[in-house]
Amino acid sequence: MSRITLTAIMLTLCTSSIGMVPVQEPVAASGFLQHADYNAPVTLPRILGDGMVLQRDHTIPVWGRTHPGAAVRVSFAGTVQYTLADHNGNWNVSFQPMRAGGPYVLKVNDKVVNDILIGDVWLFSGQSNIELQVRRVAIRYPVEASTYTNTQIREFRTTTHYDFHGPLWDVPEGRWKKCVQEEIPEFSALAFFFGMEWNQRHNVPVGLIVNGVGGSPLDAWLDEATLRGLPGPTGPDYYPKQLTALKRDTWVDSVKQAETEAMVYYRSLFTSDPGPEGSLGWTPYRVPSFWNQEDATPHGPLSRLPGSAWFKKVFYLTGEQIRHAQAGAPDRDGMLILGTMTDADMTFLNGRQVGSTGYQYPPRIYTIPKGLLKAGSNELLVRLENFWGPGGFTSGKGYALYIGAVHPFYYKADTVSLEGDDWLARMAGTLTDANAPYPATTTWHYQPAGLYNALLAPLTQFPIKGVIWYQGESQTQRRDYDQMLCALMDRWRNDWNDRALPFVIVQLPNYMKDIGPWPVETDWARRRSEQFMAARARKYTALVVTHDIGEWNDVHPLNKKDLAQRVVSAAEYLGVGNRKAPLSPVPQQVALKGSRVVITFSHTGKGLKTINGLDPSHFALANEQGRYFRAHARIIGKKKVEVWCVENFIPRAVRYAWANDPSEANLQNDAGLPAPTFQWNLNDRK
């Protein structure tokens, strides 16, 4: 038996079934592996691909798969490592930390990975505000979206996938993309602006791993072992039962089949749509409005039932406007912006379909093909469909035609407003049984552990600088979010073997109208407070406050640039120890003094102040029965706020900015960063 074969057998026997073969320097230096056969094909995880950015000043791991026992030769930056695959074909090696720089080439047997940079790598994870692309916010940032290029910034984006049987070895899809014009529209907007700012401040390559799934609840991003130890919304058996059921493929398939049949039956309860001209009944309609609003038509609601409806608007263009369209971009007459709609739309212009969207949140941004607009009369036709409630056009959003835009982001365009009460509308299909419940549906990639197994676990061998976490919009009625977020931070830090791994938590922005004047009860504000409590409960975290830069009518606010600058500041504070980086002022200590509450804030800079120079507003105090009253407040010195009520009671809790849209909240520090939404219960009765 040859010495190489014997060594392969010994290493195979000594390697665990899941582990990667650790490289021992005496083995690599003894000489016999240098003369082995390195022709075995290897598979690398997608994250180790062309254009990747590796974390500077950190051990560089390289891992992959090949034939069991096969010899693997890895060369990188002038250094060569040798190893053997274990009995499952897994192998890994590591290289010494390196400073920022590049490009480098990685060679592994027959594989070559080109254009590798060393810099800082940040993981962006959570929901759709992490996913939200540059093209979705380009109307606000036309210059950056259409002119910026920086090949030192790269993004790796995963795609939605789930698995209930355990952690996967690799993500199913993903590649590194350079920050160049042809790729930028699909970059995460938050990560894009973060990368710009981080690169400018530190002059190092920036890797942006975008690993978010729209609407995903937090427990989808947690591992099975952690979930089994959490109480769950209905008791300690909630997660064990759910996780066990999800592993039974036959059960999952049966649920999918039953839900499909229920949806088919429900849709059969709607009358058929005869098309826009299939029947009479057009009536004047106001855009924007929903079809159940009293002022939607001159006669009241168009309908109070779910279903589908057609909307039509005729507008007129001059010959000069058509000449402007012809002189614009060579492939389009302009762009059509139709705010956001509920839910699914098909949009036609002059008889030609120009776009469609399947759900309510994305803005409708449709390209008008060249030559479609004409002088004189033009007809815009929109079909909206909503199977579980009224549909319509969201108020406060823009509805306009941009004529002659020279690029997709509306530069040098003539604008024609499409809002007003001169639309026509008619209902098409409607629900015949008003009492029929909308059938239950399961979003499978939202189920516990599914995203962790498929999208998070495969990346945990790849070193990162820190995590940007923007999530919490879903399941806001649950009251264990702070506990779960702490568990997630603990789990992920353990996965990356870094107890001090920075976590930047984005507190939810202002969103939705409130049911009345504050103080009000709202799950959205409570979720913000739970995010504050989680950040306070764990070290190496920072809270980014956003209730002043959101949009009440859009869960996906466009202002991702200001948000990114706040996130960069928090990342600098945690990631590079820049204690001068400004953070939002957050409560550090709360004391009860008689009937008054004194709150001491940290991160106040040169001192607390208010946006408008008035006393702090939007504080509320709770009495013994838990009822909240509006409170007065004043700033004391640089770090304290005193809060009191005219009502005669001993406060039991204090709240700030407790509303969906806390527009009156005005407390900030000298850097202009707002104080967070929070609730602090007062246990000290002295």
Same domain, 288 and 424: yes
pLDDT at 639: 98
pLDDT of 370-398, one tens digit each?
Answer: 999 999 999 999 999 998 889 999 999 99
Residue 407: its pLDDT value, please? 65
Give the confidence band of 350 by pLDDT, cuts at 50, 70, 90.
Answer: very high
Q: What is the mean pLDDT of residues 529-552?
A: 98
User: Tokens in use for 627?
Assistant: 């009822």
Binned at pLDDT 50, 70 and 90, residue 473 comes out as: very high
Query: Does residue 287 register a pLDDT over 90?
Result: yes
pLDDT band for position 412 (cuts 50, 70, 90): confident
Backbone φ/ψ region at 597: left (φ over 0), alpha (ψ -120 to 50), beta: beta
Same domain, 417 and 287: yes
Domain membership of residue 212 (yes or no) is: yes
Q: What is the CATH number of the domain that holds 418?
A: 2.60.120
First to last CA, the chain: 81
Give the percent of the chain with pLDDT over 70.
93
Contacts of 524 (CB under 8 A, 6+ apart): 476, 508, 511, 512, 660
Cα–Cα dist 210/236, whole Å = 33
Asked if residue 277 belongs to a domain, the reply is no
- pLDDT of residue 545 exceeding 60, the answer is yes
Using the 8-state DSSP alphabet, how is residue 551 labeled?
A: B
Pairing of strands 365-369, 79-84: unpaired
448 with 565, same domain? yes
For the chain, the domain total comes to 4
Q: What is the CATH number of the domain that holds 477?
A: 3.40.50.1110
Q: Residue 21 — pLDDT band, cuts 50, 70, 90?
A: very low
Number of C-beta neighbours around residue 254 at 10 A: 11
Give percent of the chain above pLDDT 90: 88
Pairing of strands 420-430, 341-342: unpaired
Q: Supply the pLDDT for residue 143.
A: 87
What is the sign, positive or negative, of the torsion defined by CA atoms of 206, 207, 212, 218? negative
Between CA 144 and CA 202 the distance in angstroms is 20
With respect to residue 567, please indicate whether it lies within any of the assigned structural domains: yes
Q: Does the pTM exceed 0.75?
A: yes
Domain that holds residue 599: 586-681
508 and 605 in a single domain? The answer is no
Determine the average pLDDT of the residues in 669-685.
90
C-alpha torsion sign, points 521, 522, 525, 529: positive
- pLDDT at position 186 over 70: yes
**pLDDT exceeds 70 at position 497:** yes
Give the tens place of pLDDT for each residue, 207-239. Answer: 999 999 999 999 999 999 999 999 999 999 999
For every residue of 58-111, DSSP letters joined together read S-EEEEEE-STT-EEEEEETTEEEEEE--TTSEEEEEE----SEEEEEEEETTE
Question: Which CA distances in Å does 498 have to 55, 460, 464, 467, 555?
Answer: 14, 11, 10, 12, 33
Place of tokens 């000069």: 320
DSSP state of 431: B
Find the largest Cα–Cα distance for the chain.
Answer: 93
Residue 7 pLDDT > 80: no
Q: Are residues 329 and 199 in the same domain?
A: no
Neighbours of 440 (CB within 10 A): 10
How many other C-beta atoms lie within 10 A of the C-beta of residue 684?
8
Residue 98 and residue 19 in one domain: yes
Mean pLDDT of 389-410: 86
Residue 274 domain flag: no
Q: Name residue, tokens 């009625």.
A: 477
Strand 176-179 versus strand 392-393 pairing type: unpaired
293-336 pLDDT, tens digit each: 999 999 999 999 999 999 999 999 999 999 999 988 888 999 99
Give the alpha-carbon dihedral of 224, 226, 228, 234, to 10 degrees: -110
Task: Judge if 297 and 418 occupy the same domain.
Answer: yes
Name the token pair of 176: 């590194």
* Tokens describing residue 273: 């749509």
The answer to whether 66 and 29 have CB atoms below 8 angstroms apart is no
Which pLDDT score, from 0 to 100, does residue 404 have? 86
Instruction: Give the rounded distance of the alpha carbon of 125 from its chain centre.
Output: 6
Sign of CA dihedral 559, 562, 566, 571: positive
Domain boundary among 430, 463, 487: 430
- 557 belongs to a structural domain: yes
Q: Are residues 511 and 540 in the same domain?
A: yes
CA atoms within 13 A on the CB side of 665: 30
**Do residues 548 and 596 both lie within one domain?**
no
Q: Which residues pair with 315 in a beta bridge?
A: 378
60 CB-near residues (< 8 Å, 6+ apart): 54, 76, 94, 95, 96, 97, 98, 463
In a domain, 271, yes or no: no
How many other C-beta atoms are found inside a 10 Å radius of the C-beta of residue 386? 21
**Domain end: 379, 401, 430, which one?**
430
The pLDDT of residue 278: 75
Q: Which of 427, 428, 421, 424 is nearest to 313 (CA)?
A: 424
- Residue 26 pLDDT > 70, yes or no? no
Q: Omega before 661 cis (within 30°)?
A: no
Does 18 reside within a domain? yes
C-alpha 102/C-alpha 105 separation (Å) is 9
Do 218 and 484 contact (CB within 8 A), yes or no?
A: yes
Q: How confident is the model at residue 662 (pLDDT cuts 50, 70, 90)?
A: very high
Nearest by Cα to 402 from 455, 340, 337? 337
As a whole number, mean pLDDT of residues 45-59 equals 98
Angle at 631 between CA 627 and CA 634, to 5 degrees: 150
Give dist(CA 458, CA 387) in Å, integer.
38
Determine the average pLDDT of the residues in 596-605. 98
Domain limit, last residue, from 393, 408, 430: 430
Q: Residue 588: enclosing H or E segment and its boundaries?
A: strand 586-593
d(CA 38, CA 42): 10
Gap between the Cα atoms of 93 and 33, Å rounded: 14
Report the pLDDT value the prediction gives residue 28, as an integer from 0 to 100.
42
Instruction: Please give the pLDDT value at position 166.
Output: 97
Check residue 31 and give its pLDDT: 55
Confidence of residue 27 (pLDDT cuts 50, 70, 90): very low
Residues 81-132: tens digit of each pLDDT: 999 999 999 999 999 999 999 999 999 999 999 999 999 999 999 999 999 9
Q: Does residue 482 fall inside a structural domain? A: yes
We report the CATH number of the domain holding residue 74 as: 2.60.40
Express each pLDDT in 621-645 by its tens digit.
999 999 999 999 999 999 999 999 9
Of the listed ranges 359-368, 660-669, 674-683, the one predicted with least confidence? 359-368
- The mean pLDDT of the chain is 92
Claim to verify: residue 535 and residue 632 sit in the same structural domain: no
**Which H or E element spans position 489?**
helix 481-495
Q: Are residues 84 and 128 in the same domain?
A: no
At a CB cut-off of 8 Å and minimum separation 6, what does 82 contact?
Answer: 23, 27, 28, 33, 34, 36, 71, 72, 73, 74, 93
Identify whether residues 595 and 566 lie together within a single domain: no
Q: Is the model's pLDDT at 521 over the cut of 80?
A: yes
Q: Residue for token digits 């057009």?
A: 282
Q: Is 56 helix (H, G, I), strand (E, B) or coil?
A: coil
Statement: residue 192 has pLDDT above 50: yes
Q: Which residues contact 99 (CB under 8 A, 6 or more apart)?
A: 56, 57, 118
